Chain A
Amino acid sequence: MLFKQTLSFSLAVAFLGLSFTAQAKAPVENAQQKGLRIAKEGDAKDIGFGDTTANMIMTLKNRAGKTSRRVISIKTLEGKGDGDKSLSLFNQPADVKGTAMLTFSHGLKPDDQWLYLPALKRVKRINSRNKSGPFMGSEFAFEDLGSQEVEKYKYNYLREEACGQGWKCHVIERTPAYKYSGYSKQISWIDTKEYRPVKVMYYDRKNALLKTLNATGFKQYLGKYWRPSMMSMVNHQTGKSTTLQWSNYKFKSGLSARDFNKNALAR
Chain B
Amino acid sequence: MKSLRRDVSSNPQAANVTSKVFVRSTKSGKVQKIVRELYLRQDIPCSSKLCSLCPSIAPADANGNIAPFILSDRPAGTKAFPRGHYLVPDTNALLNGMDLFEHTGAFYDVIILQTVLEELKNQSLPLYNRLLALIKTDEKRFYLFFNEFRLETHVRRGPDESINDRNDRAVRTVASWYGEHLRESSKNGKKEKAVPAIVVITDDRDSLRKAKDEHITALSLADYVAGLEDPGRLLDMISESKEARDAKGAARGELFYPEYYTMSKLMTGLRAGNLHQGVFNVSPYNYLEGSVNVAAFDKPLLILGRDNSNRAIAGDVVVVEVLPKDQWKTPSTKIVDEEAVTQNDNPDTEETEAVVTDRERKALQEEVKKAHGKGAEGKPQPTAKVVGVIKRSWRQYVGHVDPNSTGSQSASGRRQQMVFLLPMDKRVPKIRVRTRQASDLLDQRILVTIDSWDRNSRYPTGHFIRSLGELETKGAETEALLLEYDVQYKPFPKSVLDCLPSEGHDWKVPASKEHKGWRGRRDLRDLLICSIDPPGCQDIDDALHARLLPNGNFEVGVHIADVSHFVKPNNAMNLEASVRGTTVYLVDKRIDMLPSLLGTDLCSLKPYVERYAFSVLWEVTPNAEIVSSDFTKSVIRSREAFSYEQAQLRIDDSSKNDELTQSMRHLLHFSKVLRQKRMDAGALNLASPEVRIETDSDEVGDPLTDVKTKAMLETNSLVEEFMLLANITVASRIYESFSQTALLRRHATPPPQNFEDLSSQLSKKRGMELDVSSSGALANSLDRCVDPKNPFFNTLVRILATRCMTSAEYFCAGAHSESEFRHYGLASPIYTHFTSPIRRYADLLVHRQLASAIGYEGEDGHAVIEGVSTRNKLEDICRNINYRHRNAQFAGRASIEYYVGQALKARGEKMAAGGVDAGIDEEGYVMRVFENGIVVFVPRFGIEGVVRLEDFVLPGESGACSVAERRELAAHRTTEFDSEEYTLHVAEKGHPEKERGVIVELFQKLRVNVSSVKEEGRGAGKRRVRILVTGA
Same complex origin of A and B: no
Residues of A bordering B, CB below 8 Å: none
